[in-house]
Structure 1
Amino acid sequence: MTRVQDLFIDGEYRPATNGRRFEDLSPISGEVYREVAAAATSDATAAVDAAAGAFRTWSCTSPAERRRVLLRAADLLESEIETHRSMFACETGSVRGWADMNVREAASTLREAAGLTTTAVGELLPSNETGTLNVSSRVPAGVVLAIVPWNAPLILAARSFAIALAVGNTVVIRPSEEAPLAAGFVLADTLRRAGLPVGVVNVVSTGPGEGPQVIAELIADPRVRRVVFIGSTAVGRKIAEIAGRHLTPTVLELGGKNSTIVREDADLDIWVPAIAFSAFANSGQVCMCTDRIIVHRSKAAELADRLAAHAEGLVVGDPLAAKTDLGPLINSRAAANFRDLVGDAMRCGARLLAGGPETDGSYARPTVISQLPREAALYHREAFSPVVSIHPVADDDEAVAVANDTEYGLIASVLSSDTARAETLAQRVRAGAVHVNGPSIGDEPHVAFGGLGASGFGRLGGQESVRTFTEQRTFYLHDRGGLFGV
């Protein structure tokens, strides 16, 4: 019998006010994994009511207590990794390696947040007036709306709001309808069991197609003081428009058209497996996945042959099986998008080296193509599926030109035996982050992360998140008695 997931509001699990639910389908079989409450706008308001009420006490809770809850939640999350593996496979189609990475990185983010509970939140500034002291202080902003995607749900949920909690904010999570458990309910419940007070975190799930109305209602609420959205550029633009009308500060982490540049001195024995991981992790459904391999002509043929052979050797199948490398795409729409992009590339004259446009339901083979013309949709669009294109270039200048030939600017990678030259080249690539001699997939919770151009704006991670989730206030302290001594 299918289990039911209710909304989580004010410390309680409750059905939607209208009693409606939607089906959370497993991409493995297409069968119903859970029936999930489909929130109405009244439920969204109730969630903000709870978060706003809890803010009054949580914002004044001691850093030591906030740290204790976050550290306990990190330990709980990791201790239940076997359960999370099964949930990830059934709800998102992810293989065990990707599930494990999500759990461990989310736990790492919670621990980083715990360490930031006692970060400096102000500074003393001199004054030109005798007996005056200027104090600049950062205070928690209020209620944070976190709109969390399905593809790396635990990692991105933690990134969206763990540090917000650490500095005293409260949260309303709107998880993706494609993976509401992994993108919201799991972490919220872990925090609840770790001792997080009632109302500090709330989860409002919405049915397919109903998210825009509920999200708009949440953003319009004046008590919502920050919005974090991680997802597609198209939806991010709409979120920014709504938030802009209400002057609500927003962080957008959006799509990418990411390049890995392979210089002529790169050691392919080392880097072919890393490139394959960058291209095909989670069946290519990662914002940091490599879409394009820009390789020096002297290495292009060898790289193409070796990467194609590596791709053909990857196992596509049941994500619950230990030896599976790639599970299914998230749904039939994603599979259709893959078929359309690869099929269009073939019609435009691209050469197929491995895989192909055919799918078995939502299962797609890792695909490598070359000679991709600019008129192909795949040249410009984020694939978000297991397909990568190879682009031979004559030198570093041409490599940079191809890498920057996109409206996106999320992440990139440069591979070379000459680290100094690779670092110089990395500086020229227009991206929010560039890995030198490392795969394009990877970030750390204490390091700012975010994109340029159509990849979004704002930064999450470490001290950048502290600034994102706090407001700066200045106090001019005038002491006519001269007690300040300044």
Structure 2
Amino acid sequence: MNASIIRYRREDVALRQRHWQNEALQKGSGATYDVHNPANGQVIANAAAATAQDCKESIEAAEKAFGAWQFATPGQKSVLFKKAAELVVSDSYQDKIMKAITEETGCTASLGKLINVDLCHNVLHEACEMAYQVKGEILPSDSGAQSFVQRLPMGVVFVISPWNAPLGLSLMTVLPPIAAGNTVVLKTSEYSPAGQLIAAELLKEAGLPDGVLNIIHTAREDSGPRVAEIIAHPAVRKIAFTGSDRVGSIIAAEAAKYLKPCVFELGGKAPAVVLNGANVEAASRAIVSGAMNHSGQMCISTERVIVQRDVAQQLIDNVKAVASKIKAGDQSKTDAKLSCVFNPSSAANIISMIQEAVADGAELLVGDLKAQGAFVQPHIVLGAKPGQRLWDRESFGPVFTIAVVDSVDEAVELANASTYSLTSALWTNDMQQAFAVSRRIHAGKVIVNGPTYGSESRFHQQGMGGSSGYGTFDVHNFTYTQLVSFQSPESQKAYIVTDF
């Protein structure tokens, strides 16, 4: 394991920079950056800021480890992942995870456990199965020949994972390439280095060989140059990124210079479509939950609600009643249900988006139009429309818009009036209607009679291009196919020139 890492020393809130190579902590360059608690702005740590040399060493460690790891058997990998699944729910790891997650992201304890402990336990078990999914096929061949296609790992994969579910999303992103026989260099978010570093500690204790997973941290101002340097390295064969569409576009352009393939899970502006006859009470609870969990800081958060007129007023009354009871506050001081957003700038941007929509004719149903540091209270807006930032762009905040329509066709048209296509929800009690309408919604996932997030097919969350990205985090996206053809004297007759 090779990592530019941080170490918490709780007594003095100091962190020592080290690089983790061959199971030994080694002195690094000494450059660090501050990590802040978003709820109160306090510095909770100093994290190692990787240099170009640190990145180069991490890639070289991954390249070296690939030589042996590509031949690891499915059984060996499955045993390792199962051991990690047992470790992640142990008391010692849960305490470590929750301490890092709540301090670095401000996440509520209940949600933090769900998306960083329970989720990891599940995806590690799924990775056990994934290790057996690297399969080939026999192809029809010419007479006397025999051909088959085999799947082979690509080599070193560069992974960038975000802060909003630091451990959960890190494992969801690194496990598919590792299960397929690749090695990984993971760059953490500058906001959550400790939470993401636990992925390396967990897998190493489970038996992952040194160099298979390498973790680096970068200061915000260094991230661009370090990412470009890693992408440019000839040993890096593929890039996997989870984050915003803005940054995804930058990474795609950088990778295009070297014709390197990418997998992107980017932003979301998930619509929830509520049709006449739907269970409005259940839809209301799911919508508010889908919009407000983690203060809306998930790519699968519900951001747009499109409701048919016959049930619109009932839905509006219900969501107002539920959302009005929810308050945001410092988790260390109150029993507030909502956490802060990840920094004050994000909070200010969320309020600005709502203010612009209201100034352009939308109606504020719930909310105070105020940002208090990194805290934003729940907001509901009626009548936002395409062309407004609140409709067009991912807010990543505790806010959703409601649009009232008359027909199913109008509902589908508005649901698709977005460059995002990650996930969606459809509410109807007519199953024939559910089948007919779901296929018309331009989204990688349509959840019928449920929230826009769900636990099904965790590794198959995908956008359909545009602002939500493309590709899936599965073994097929981190392997290439190789044709192997065995020729016999008989089959060679058609190809070999004999008259010379």
Fold match, TM over 0.5?
A: yes
The amino acid across from 2:40 in the alignment is: S
Alpha-carbon distance, 1:83 to partner: 3.3
Aligned to 1:173: 186
Q: Where do residues 279-290 of structure 1 align in structure 2 (5 Å cutoff)?
A: 279-290=291-302
Aligned to 1:92: 105
Alpha-carbon distance, 1:225 to partner: 0.9
The amino acid across from 1:66 in the alignment is: K
Q: Where do residues 311-460 of structure 1 align in structure 2 (5 Å cutoff)?
A: 311-320=323-332, 323-445=335-457, 448-460=460-472
Distance 1:468 1:170 in 2: 14
Q: Where do residues 15-54 of structure 1 align in structure 2 (5 Å cutoff)?
A: 17-54=28-65
Measured against aligned partners, the alpha-carbon deviations of 1:288-336 in whole angstroms (never above 9, x if no partner) come to: 1111100011111221121111111013223357943210010111111
1:73 aligns with 2:84: yes
The amino acid across from 2:361 in the alignment is: G
Aligned to 1:474: 483
How many percent identity over aligned positions? 32
Q: Where do residues 129-140 of structure 1 align in structure 2 (5 Å cutoff)?
A: 129-130=143-144, 132-140=145-153
Q: 1:456 to 1:382 in 2, by over 3 A?
A: closer
Q: 1:16 to 1:289 in 2, by over 3 A?
A: farther
Q: Where do residues 291-302 of structure 1 align in structure 2 (5 Å cutoff)?
A: 291-302=303-314
* Residue in structure 2 matching 1:150, options 154, 163, 178: 163
The amino acid across from 2:97 in the alignment is: H
Distance 1:229 1:16 in 2: 29
The amino acid across from 1:40 in the alignment is: T
Distance 1:11 1:445 in 2: 35
Alpha-carbon distance, 1:6 to partner: 3.7
Q: Are the counterparts in 2 of residues 9 and 199 from structure 1 also a CA contact under 8 Å?
A: no
Q: 1:438 to 1:222 in 2, by over 3 A?
A: same
RMSD across aligned positions (CA): 1.9
Q: Are the counterparts in 1 of residues 20 and 26 from structure 2 also a CA contact under 8 Å?
A: no
Distance 1:32 1:344 in 2: 33
The amino acid across from 2:181 in the alignment is: G
Aligned to 1:118: 132
Distance 1:107 1:289 in 2: 22
Distance 1:99 1:295 in 2: 31
Measured against aligned partners, the alpha-carbon deviations of 1:72-121 in whole angstroms (never above 9, x if no partner) come to: 11111122324322321111011122211212112211111111222252
Alpha-carbon distance, 1:247 to partner: 1.5
Q: Are the counterparts in 2 of residues 426 and 434 from structure 1 also a CA contact under 8 Å?
A: yes
* Residue in structure 1 matching 2:315, options 298, 303, 310: 303
Q: Please report the TM-score for the alignment, with normalisation by the length of structure 2.
A: 0.91
Q: Are the counterparts in 1 of residues 134 and 476 from structure 2 also a CA contact under 8 Å?
A: no
Q: 1:7 to 1:402 in 2, by over 3 A?
A: farther
Distance 1:118 1:247 in 2: 29
- The answer to which of 296-305 and 388-397 deviates more is 296-305
Distance 1:277 1:256 in 2: 16
Q: Secondary structure at the match of 2:71?
A: coil
Q: Are the counterparts in 2 of residues 148 and 176 from structure 1 also a CA contact under 8 Å?
A: yes
Distance 1:322 1:54 in 2: 47
Distance 2:18 2:168 in 1: 21
Q: 1:12 to 1:26 in 2, by over 3 A?
A: farther
Q: Are the counterparts in 2 of residues 283 and 329 from structure 1 also a CA contact under 8 Å?
A: yes
Measured against aligned partners, the alpha-carbon deviations of 1:28-81 in whole angstroms (never above 9, x if no partner) come to: 211112110000111110000100011111111222221111111111112232
Distance 2:24 2:375 in 1: 35
Alpha-carbon distance, 1:456 to partner: 4.0
Q: Are the counterparts in 2 of residues 255 and 408 from structure 1 also a CA contact under 8 Å?
A: yes
Q: 1:446 to 1:129 in 2, by over 3 A?
A: farther
Alpha-carbon distance, 1:424 to partner: 1.3
Distance 2:383 2:323 in 1: 18
Aligned to 1:104: 118
Measured against aligned partners, the alpha-carbon deviations of 1:204-227 in whole angstroms (never above 9, x if no partner) come to: 100012111101111111111111
Q: Secondary structure at the match of 2:200?
A: helix
Measured against aligned partners, the alpha-carbon deviations of 1:1-47 in whole angstroms (never above 9, x if no partner) come to: 11316455434575774311001100121111211000011111000
Q: 1:321 to 1:109 in 2, by over 3 A?
A: farther
The amino acid across from 1:129 in the alignment is: S
Q: Are the counterparts in 1 of residues 380 and 402 from structure 2 also a CA contact under 8 Å?
A: yes
Alpha-carbon distance, 1:376 to partner: 2.8
The amino acid across from 1:385 in the alignment is: G
Aligned to 2:6: none
Q: Are the counterparts in 2 of residues 240 and 250 from structure 1 also a CA contact under 8 Å?
A: yes
Q: Are the counterparts in 1 of residues 29 and 51 from structure 2 also a CA contact under 8 Å?
A: yes
- Show structure 2 runs of 5+ residues with no match: 1-11, 492-500
Alpha-carbon distance, 1:258 to partner: 1.3
